[in-house]
Structure 1
């Protein structure tokens, strides 16, 4: 008779699935960090990609298009206040939503790679995300 409790043994399959779950969680965090970092527009304007900024940009575009407000708009950026014209607000909104979509597309690509990986513990999530985002 053995004193080994086999119910506590982690099988190779279970370890691989744990590693896969960890890699997918890391991937989601990398995508989120990249998303909220936002974009830098031509001219150097940094626009965050967080939900509050996206909502503010969407509202500003809509209000400008409906004539509820007029440009230039005072806009607070990570480096201070700027005044934006209607085309600049629209370009910022477009760049941010395209960036967010590119981040999700890159995450989907890498998630499929992680799912297909035989050994997800050795998978370089950050490098794979960077490569997918660059494409």
Structure 2
């Protein structure tokens, strides 16, 4: 990257070629090729370490002992909105749970299937079924089906409870961007 020493405008090799079409530059343009045109090499400060959600943008360009150095500006993470919090809740809600070593899908379709199986298990205590998991099929009794439903429902409700806490913090002005990824049920 180069810099116009008069305007302090950065320019890359493509920009140099466009600005000076009458000059036949070699395939790789170096400082020596553009020095007579009023350009210098542009150096950068070391990039700062960013916190979650922060972004880095090029900052001011300064001259230091004949060198041109560009700093960085750390842009704070934007404060999430209620929609961002709801999206994060949905991610946690549908991430699934592990119950007695068995992964249970907690996506919306699976929640509906669990509810249907639970209703049948409540109507018929002798009911059993073969439930499909990522590891394959497992046989579940009515009591186990109700246990799966109870655990899945507790997980989903915990996700909604965390969403409500975050929305309260957002309304109270105490919300920090880091909170968006903290406190969700595992």
User: Could you state the TM-score of these two structures normalised by the residue count of structure 2?
Assistant: 0.51
Other-structure match for 1:74: 130
Q: Secondary structure at the match of 1:49?
A: coil
Q: How far off is 1:66 after superposition? A: 1.8
The one of 106, 109, 117 equivalent to 2:165 is 109
The reply to whether residue 124 of structure 1 matches residue 178 of structure 2 is yes
Q: Secondary structure at the match of 1:37?
A: coil
The structure whose Rg is larger is: 2
Larger fraction in strand:
2
Other-structure match for 1:8: none
Q: What does the per-residue CA deviation read over 1:59-79, in whole Å, with 9 as the maximum and x for residues that have no partner?
A: 1111122239721x1111122
Say how many residue pairs are matched.
108
- Greater relative CO (CA pairs within 8 A, separation 6+): 1
Q: Which blocks of at least 5 consecutive residues in structure 2 are unaligned?
A: 1-77
The one of 72, 76, 88 equivalent to 1:30 is 88
Larger fraction in helix:
1
The 5 Å alignment of 1:1-135 reads 20=79, 22-41=80-99, 43-67=100-124, 70-71=127-128, 73-117=129-173, 123-127=177-181, 130-131=182-183, 133=184
- Superposition RMSD in Å: 2.3
Q: How far off is 1:124 after superposition? A: 1.7
Q: Name segments (4+ residues, structure 1) moved above 6 Å.
A: none
Q: Which blocks of at least 5 consecutive residues in structure 1 are unaligned?
A: 1-18
